[in-house]
Structure 1
Amino acid sequence: MADPASYRPKTGEIPNDPGVYRFRDPHGRVIYVGKAKNLRQRLTSYFANPATLLPKTYAMVHAAASVEWTVVGSELEALQLEYTWIKEFAPRYNLAFRDDKTYPYLAVTLGEKFPRVQVMRGDRRKGTRYFGPYTAGAIRETMDTLLKVFPVRSCSAGVFKRAEQSGRPCLLGYIDKCSAPCVGRVSVEEHRALAEDFCAFMGGEAKRFISQLEKRMAAAVEELDYETAASLRDDIIAMRKVFERNAVVLSEDTDADVFAVEEDELEAAVQVFHVRGGRIRGQRGWVVEKVEETTGAALIEHLLQQVYGAQAETDTRIPREVLVPVLPDDAEQLTVWLTGLRGAKVDLRVPRRGDKAALAKTVHENAVQALKLHKVRRAGDITTRSLALQELQEALELPEPPLRIESFDISHVQGTNVVGSMVVVEDGLVKKSEYRKFSVTGDAARDDTTAMHDVLTRRFRSYLADKELPVAERDQHSKFAYPPNLVVVDGGQPQVAAAMKALAELGIGEHEIRVVGLAKRLEEVWLPEGDFPVILPRASQGLYLLQRIRDEAHRFAITFHRQKRGKAMTASLLDDVPGLGPARRKALLAHFGSVKKLRAATPEELAGVAGVGPSLAASVYAAFHGSGAEQPAPAVNYATGEILES
């Protein structure tokens, strides 16, 4: 750990202006971003007596190796720049409001030619309207009910394409839960109007639609058209079922997000109720670990930045009212920022009395329960991960716990389609954004050890190249910029020796990066030195961690190998089809999207691809199915049930 005194700037060099500052680690990675009305006062507080710092602040300033700042013209500019940098660099020590559970949303992909209604989780996409969050059961029921009234497409792109080509809709089209735009039952404009009506209903205009249907039902009854009236009656019942599912808590013209916070010295839980049209349309929660001594006002400021900054980029509507338990210190600037994102006035305030204050109290009770539940779950998780890292440090004689571990594996079938994988674990948790895949060709693919040598050489050659970049540029070119504390290779002494040879050839010593191998048969840990492995206890948390990362590297490698092998097999089969050149092969793969779908296509579907006529389609179909010969069964280890792929 670095000594903060080694990079502390002179007090006189720090301006008294408002600005944004960044702490960087020895590898140039931004680990903390903050803003201040007075940069000098804020930055000098980080270099005070260590005994006065919170544990996480202490860890941050000792993990950093430099600090830099940018002066801005106003507090609003500081707010905007801080949000931009937090989003760009994702600093590990910043307040990161992580959802306390994964919430599904009802999404409408208005950016597509034929919008699709679907349930979505995870990252949001531009051009898509989101409604929720909901519980998993409620969202499926809501979607199923509303598709009877608004028969918007809900099928995947592959199903839609197949229906277009065959001229036959899927089951939903036959049971009137889809208007079947794939076969031209409705035009592009009519289908988009249905999708927009769906969004309007979900956005709070339910009463308008119900009123319109009631008038149409009455008119149908007057004309003695009882069949139409009965159909409209069913639609009205379906709409009311969805509309009445959410409790009325405020006046019908109220659109608001109601936030509440419950915190202790180290963590805080946040809950929000989304109220639209006076009804609770969804609920969401976050839990955050504090880095510095943060007040409730500062927590709310960071929360609103992250929640509404992300929503603005995905066209999600910001409500007229944002009700918070305490006003942020920069409430005026935040209101201006939110108003700019929404395009209309936003009222940011604390509810003091009446129904809104009562609802805020209910939201706070949810936050209290969420923090209690999080502590119970988190205690076991943190203890287990800390114990695993500590056991590895002691067993492998590391100078510090291995906070970043990288595991490598090789996959192939009898030396063909050789690939390598790299998976990353930081602080005991997988970091999928930094997984990497390697294709191994030429002499490097002749056996496992040469392939491992090739993969390690390429990974750490890139690390050395990125290391030469100026510190300020490493965040934009950080593909391999950060070295691990521990490298785990799948195998025993030969694989460890190959990895060590690769590092030695690059001038990276064992004191910089520790390498171990984990052999599958007896789960032995092999070190570069010595003829005997380290045997960790079977119940060791450190061994469990090594096994999990080794198995994840194996899974990732196998997945990539199967993709590559499938493409190679298809290319080999298609190479033998007379009259099928590279352009048409590419068109076939692009049209069907995957090898599996191309193999499953009928001759008629193949003939529907541009440039592929009936005769050529028959030849392509025969290449996959014409021989009638059975594929040889893969070799299997019957003791474990594992397919024998190395």
Structure 2
Amino acid sequence: MADPSSYRPKPGQIPDSPGVYKFRDEHRRVIYVGKAKSLRQRLSSYFQDLAGLHPRTRTMVTTAASVEWTVVATEVEALQLEYSWIKEYDPRFNVKYRDDKSYPYLAVTLGEEFPRVQVMRGAKKKGVRYFGPYAHAWAIRETVDLMLRVFPVRTCSAGVFKRSHQIGRPCLLGYIGKCSAPCVGRVSPEEHRELAEEFCDFMAGRTGAYIRRLERAMQDAAEEMEYEKAARLRDDITALKRAMEKNAVVLADATDADLIAVAEDELEAAVQIFHVRGGRVRGQRGWVTDKVEAVDTAGLVEHALQQLYGEETGDAVPKEVLVPALPDPLEPVADWLAARRGSRVDLRIPQRGDKKDLMATVQRNAQQALALHKTKRASDLTTRSRALEEIAEALGLDSAPLRIECFDISHLQGQDVVASMVVFEDGLPRKSEYRRFQIKTFEGQDDVRSMHEVVGRRFRRYLLEKQKTGEWDIEDTPAGEVREDDARDDNGRPRRFAYPPQLVVVDGGKPQVAAARRALDELGVADVAVCGLAKRLEEVWLPDEDDPVVLPRTSEGLYLLQRVRDEAHRFAITYQRSKRSKAIKAGPLDEVPGLGGARKQALLKHFGSVKRLRSATVEQICEIPGIGRKTAESIIATLARTAPPAPAVNTATGEIIDEG
């Protein structure tokens, strides 16, 4: 536990101007990001008597080892920089909202040549127009099924689209009129894009004008006695009205607004958002968060606004945002929202009428979400804490291992040897920090040497990161050279190995544990505990111990170690299988000297198969970028040498002779 006075800035060092500040721990990891109208006043508030601080704030300042700040010109710039840093560093003591469930969106891939309508979950992608989120995927599919009658936009996958294009026949939806079949040229790319844009306009709430246009067209067709056309238009209008009826009218004045409500207690908060477009509820979503900093309702609303609109621009930010409490100060947040939308955004608390009634409904949803979350999580928090305490007690650790890293080796009969590293923090997987390795020094079934290599590589990168920050000198390493290349992946991007675990777990018994411990000792890393979990009897092995530690089968600590080990095994074998499948696809091309993986893939992508490649000429192969004449001749010679023998044929009957 650090003493805040040890890193408190000297009087007069902190400027009295707007800015953003970062607290870092002893490993230079950013643990908290904040903004302030006056950096001097805000930072001074952290260095008062610890007894007067909020318990979460007290934990943060005693975990931190340094503080730094960046001065900006305005509070709006501070808000933007704070959002960017929170997204970049993912600080553990900042409010971080988590979706309380995975919400599906209706998405239109406008970035493709032939836009596709589909259901999407997860992070939003560029070039895609989103509508929602919706409570259920089936609700989206029902809506789309009704609207395809009027807007026959493509809904098929890339594989189905490509197949239909190759055979010259559309899929079933093309035959029944629910797809305009751009795959076979029934409509041009421009006509199909116009359909997709009309679909988006209708989903965005511009429904009245389109339906009135259809009604006029229906009347004109009836007057011209084109009764079949009029009947078809009548059915189209009915389908669109049915799709509209699935979203109830809640605001009579066709308002475009988002309503945000917050339910909270001392430790946690739940946020609910209703998206209202054209007076109808078009989507709903919810977030939950631990209140890891001293923050009031206005602060929670500000964080929610950042997360909700931080990546949005234009019409995705509505004209009106209704909240239970206004951020303080209000002007920077309002200006930031206006900059995201490109015009003024009305950020206010509803006082009366339909909007206040709807806000009460959103508030009830938030309260129910918080109650449900607390019910689900109470036992989970208790269980994880007990598991970490049991591991610390069994292994003789000074404190619970809040960060655990586990390593596993995978290969196929000594070939394509790979390793995995998975990370668990506070008993939960942190998948963004998973890593995978290729064993470089040798091939073979030697898991002990492989474990020694991969643990050594991981901690050499950790020491290199410390060297960059000036916390460690390369001469401090008893053995093993630390190279700049060790901190970069195959594409030259820096890896993130800057934070050490409290516990390293290896998949294996005494030999693997000894190899991992030896790798750490060679690098001078003495403050990281090591253990191994053997599969056969689920025994826990410690370095330099002749007998294993046996945890009870009902132990939560053993269950957590098993989860960590199994996750490392899954991650390793997935990587090994992907490498193996790539090698199998390349086939005889593996025997071509000097032909790398990228050029193998380019050859197979261009010719489609090894069989077609065998019949290609040198000139045709040379058309592939990066392949010269000498390489093309080597490819032809290798494929000729490895070609399967031609089947024997009975010259009298012309039948193939089965030599089996």
Q: Identify the match of residue 537 of structure 2 among 522, 545, 568.
A: 522
Equivalents in 1 of 2:381, 2:645: separation in Å?
57
Q: Is the 8 A contact 1:301 1:330 kept in 2?
A: no
1:375 aligns with 2:392: no
Q: Is the 8 A contact 1:445 1:451 kept in 2?
A: no
Alignment match, 1:482:
499
> Which range moved further: 477-486 or 96-105?
477-486
Cα distance per residue 1:381-416 (max 9 Å; x no partner): 211111111111111111111111111111111101
Q: Is the 8 A contact 1:497 1:528 kept in 2?
A: yes
Alignment match, 1:338:
337
Q: How far did residue 120 of structure 1 move?
A: 1.0
Alignment match, 2:456:
457
Q: How far did residue 454 of structure 1 move?
A: 1.4
Question: What is the root-mean-square deviation in Å for CA atoms of aligned residues?
Answer: 3.1
Alignment match, 2:655:
none
Alignment match, 2:87:
87
Alignment match, 1:140:
141
Cα distance per residue 1:123-154 (max 9 Å; x no partner): 11122111001022212222222223212222
Query: Against the structure 1 CA distance between its residues 451 and 341, is the aligned structure 2 distance closer, same or farther, given a 3 Å change threshold?
Result: same
Equivalents in 1 of 2:86, 2:605: separation in Å?
37
1:549 aligns with 2:548: no
Q: Is the 8 A contact 1:116 1:153 kept in 2?
A: yes
Q: Is the 8 A contact 1:449 1:498 kept in 2?
A: yes
Q: Is the 8 A contact 2:391 2:400 kept in 1?
A: yes
Q: Is the 8 A contact 2:95 2:293 kept in 1?
A: no
* Pair member with larger Rg: 2
Equivalents in 1 of 2:524, 2:73: separation in Å?
47
Query: Against the structure 1 CA distance between its residues 471 and 243, is the aligned structure 2 distance closer, same or farther, given a 3 Å change threshold?
Result: farther
> Which range moved further: 50-59 or 478-487?
50-59
- The number of aligned residues is 609
Q: Which SS does the other structure have where 2:155 is aligned?
A: coil
Query: Against the structure 1 CA distance between its residues 55 and 611, is the aligned structure 2 distance closer, same or farther, given a 3 Å change threshold?
Result: farther
> Which range moved further: 498-507 or 209-218?
209-218
Equivalents in 1 of 2:235, 2:357: separation in Å?
36
Alignment match, 1:639:
none
Alignment match, 2:328:
329
Q: How far did residue 249 of structure 1 move?
A: 0.9
Q: How far did residue 626 of structure 1 move?
A: 9.7
Alignment match, 2:416:
417
Q: How far did residue 166 of structure 1 move?
A: 3.0
Alignment match, 1:118:
118
Alignment match, 1:505:
522
Q: Which SS does the other structure have where 1:370 is aligned?
A: helix
Alignment match, 2:294:
293
Equivalents in 1 of 2:645, 2:344: separation in Å?
67
> Which range moved further: 270-279 or 567-576?
567-576
Q: How does 1:156-305 map to 2 (within 5 A)?
A: 156-305=157-306
Equivalents in 2 of 1:85, 1:307: separation in Å?
16
Q: Is the 8 A contact 1:130 1:316 kept in 2?
A: no
Q: How far did residue 363 of structure 1 move?
A: 1.0
> Which range moved further: 208-217 or 524-533?
208-217
Query: Against the structure 1 CA distance between its residues 65 and 589, is the aligned structure 2 distance closer, same or farther, given a 3 Å change threshold?
Result: farther
Q: How far did residue 261 of structure 1 move?
A: 1.3
Equivalents in 1 of 2:112, 2:470: separation in Å?
41
1:399 aligns with 2:398: yes
Query: Against the structure 1 CA distance between its residues 625 and 177, is the aligned structure 2 distance closer, same or farther, given a 3 Å change threshold?
Result: farther
Q: Is the 8 A contact 2:513 2:543 kept in 1?
A: yes
Equivalents in 2 of 1:6, 1:308: separation in Å?
38
TM-score (norm 1): 0.88
1:535 aligns with 2:550: yes
Equivalents in 1 of 2:361, 2:118: separation in Å?
31
Equivalents in 1 of 2:174, 2:571: separation in Å?
38
Alignment-mate amino acid for residue 68 of structure 2: E
> Which range moved further: 403-412 or 141-150?
141-150
Cα distance per residue 1:321-377 (max 9 Å; x no partner): 111112111211111111111011111111111111111111111111111111111
Q: How does 1:16-55 map to 2 (within 5 A)?
A: 16-55=16-55
Equivalents in 2 of 1:366, 1:228: separation in Å?
46
Cα distance per residue 1:211-247 (max 9 Å; x no partner): 2222223333333433333332332222111111111
Alignment-mate amino acid for residue 323 of structure 2: V
Q: Is the 8 A contact 1:584 1:611 kept in 2?
A: no
Query: Against the structure 1 CA distance between its residues 40 and 232, is the aligned structure 2 distance closer, same or farther, given a 3 Å change threshold?
Result: same
Q: Is the 8 A contact 1:300 1:326 kept in 2?
A: yes
Q: Is the 8 A contact 1:54 1:291 kept in 2?
A: no
Cα distance per residue 1:230-275 (max 9 Å; x no partner): 3323322221111111111113431001111121122221111111
Alignment-mate amino acid for residue 402 of structure 1: P
Q: How far did residue 294 of structure 1 move?
A: 1.5
Equivalents in 2 of 1:63, 1:387: separation in Å?
22
TM-score (norm 2): 0.86
Alignment match, 2:151:
150
Equivalents in 2 of 1:82, 1:349: separation in Å?
23
Alignment-mate amino acid for residue 56 of structure 2: K
Q: Which SS does the other structure have where 2:311 is aligned?
A: helix
Alignment-mate amino acid for residue 401 of structure 1: A
Query: Against the structure 1 CA distance between its residues 152 and 483, is the aligned structure 2 distance closer, same or farther, given a 3 Å change threshold?
Result: same
Equivalents in 2 of 1:10, 1:303: separation in Å?
34
Alignment match, 1:440:
439
Q: Percent identity?
A: 63
Alignment-mate amino acid for residue 331 of structure 1: L
Equivalents in 1 of 2:309, 2:103: separation in Å?
17
Equivalents in 2 of 1:590, 1:504: separation in Å?
47
Query: Against the structure 1 CA distance between its residues 461 and 77, is the aligned structure 2 distance closer, same or farther, given a 3 Å change threshold?
Result: same
Equivalents in 2 of 1:589, 1:329: separation in Å?
60
